[in-house]
């Protein structure tokens, strides 16, 4: 396999894993080898009025130089309405050539369905997913901090962000996921400079349970307003390629000024690829819960304008 093909294949796999984590049962694998997938999209998950199935095939050249091959399936989608939606998807591709765009496509279609629902039924509003009121901090897995625990070494250059306020940001902890005796838990903190990344890791490692985790995978993205670029990086902590997958999920969701750490406590049973699914699900859940995910329009604009990405440090190799 040529080096370019290998790079495209890796990016495709990372995007597929991220999409599966984001959409769960709505995402369906038709043919894994041929990279054919289908996603069921509706205007409202709990009470759908309009539904459409998007089928995509990812050519070897995607996302570098070719778009996904797609088909829109819905009995009501005809004529000008179909042409308008197809044009919208192709416009998103043109604005983001070389980028992963499946998430933007799905959310664009969902927006069209929501608008259609509101136009055809102007009375009741479409239910919005803003049910965050009953979310409480889960700290049954998080133990009392123990300052005597060591901090794993982290070499971060903070010279570019000396003007930022270097305070320890608040840290939130997600609901743990357990599968075959392995437990995964995400931790999230807002960060605006690499110094804060180090501070958050230091604080987390004061916790005996977190410090004893088999892996503490993390990724962060910091948006530099003055340069209109992202400062971002990730760490596998021994779980090969997990940090890159986590960062890719954060890129697709277009989150900024946030870091996510996913702790894994290994239970003695190998999980295979499922471990990456759990890592991404943990991360996605806490990012959604804390309202870090953008609307698809904001994501599309940001991906189009802010393609420059600066690596903070050389990635560790495992």
HEC readout, 176-192: CEEECCEEEEEEEEECC
pLDDT, residue 6, reads 66
What is the predicted pLDDT for the residue at 311?
Answer: 59
Q: How many distinct helices (H) and strands (E) make up the chain?
A: 8, 11
**The pLDDT of residue 12 is above 50:** yes
Residue with tokens 């760490």: 235
What's the mean pLDDT in 162-186?
A: 83
112-126, 200-214, 230-244: range with lowest mean pLDDT: 112-126
Beta bridge mates, 283: none
278 within 8 A of 184, measured Cβ to Cβ = yes
Bond from prior residue into 63 cis (ω within 30 degrees of 0)? yes
Per-residue tokens: 89: 């998807």
Reported in sequence order, the residue ranges of 86-147 that DSSP labels E, i.e. its strands, are: none
Structure tokens at 270: 């190998």
Rounded mean pLDDT, 204-232: 89
Longest Cα–Cα distance of the chain, Å, equals: 67
- Selected residue with higher pLDDT from 232 and 163: 232
Strand, helix or coil for residue 243 = helix
Pairing type for strands 182-190 and 27-31 reads: unpaired
* Each residue's pLDDT tens digit, 17-48: 899 888 888 888 888 888 889 898 998 877 88
pLDDT digits (tens, 9 = 90+) for 38-91: 898 998 877 888 999 899 999 998 988 888 999 888 888 888 888 999 999 999
The answer to whether 114 touches 105, Cβ cutoff 8 Å, is no
CA gap 56, 123 in Å, rounded: 35
Identify the pLDDT of residue 159.
Answer: 40
- Read off the pLDDT band of 164 (50, 70, 90): very low
For residue 128, the model assigns a pLDDT of 34
Tell me the residue ranges of DSSP E strands in 191-256. Answer: 215-224, 229-235
Whether the per-residue pLDDT at 133 is higher than 80: the answer is: no
């Amino acid at each position: 396999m040529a080096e370019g093909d290998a790079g495209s294949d890796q990016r495709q796999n990372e995007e597929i894993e991220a999409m599966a984590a984001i959409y769960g049962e709505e995402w369906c694998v038709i043919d894994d080898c041929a990279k054919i997938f289908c996603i069921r999209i509706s205007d409202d998950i709990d009470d759908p009025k309009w539904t459409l199935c998007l089928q995509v095939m990812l050519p070897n050249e995607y996302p570098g130089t070719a778009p996904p091959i797609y088909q829109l399936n819905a009995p009501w989608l005809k004529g000008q309405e179909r042409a308008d939606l197809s044009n919208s998807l192709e416009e998103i591709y043109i604005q983001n050539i070389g980028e992963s765009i499946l998430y933007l496509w799905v959310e664009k279609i969902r927006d069209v369905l929501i608008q259609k629902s509101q136009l055809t039924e102007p009375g009741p509003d479409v239910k919005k997913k803003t049910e965050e009121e009953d979310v409480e901090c889960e700290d049954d897995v998080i133990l009392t901090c123990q300052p005597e625990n060591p901090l794993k070494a982290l070499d971060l250059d903070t010279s570019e962000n000396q003007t930022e306020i270097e305070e320890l940001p608040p840290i939130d902890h997600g609901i743990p996921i357990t599968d075959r005796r392995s437990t995964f838990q995400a931790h999230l903190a807002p960060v605006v400079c690499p110094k804060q990344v180090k501070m958050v890791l230091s604080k987390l490692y004061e916790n005996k349970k977190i410090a004893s985790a088999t892996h503490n995978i993390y990724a962060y993205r910091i948006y530099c307003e003055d340069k209109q670029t992202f400062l971002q990086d990730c760490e596998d902590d021994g779980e090969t390629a997990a940090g890159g997958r986590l960062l890719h999920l954060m890129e697709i969701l277009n989150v900024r000024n946030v870091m996510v750490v996913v702790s894994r406590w290994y239970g003695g049973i190998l999980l295979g690829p499922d471990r990456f699914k759990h890592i991404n699900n943990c991360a996605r859940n806490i990012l959604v819960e804390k309202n870090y995910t953008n609307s698809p329009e904001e994501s599309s604009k940001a991906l189009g304008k802010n393609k420059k990405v600066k690596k903070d440090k050389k990635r560790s190799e495992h």
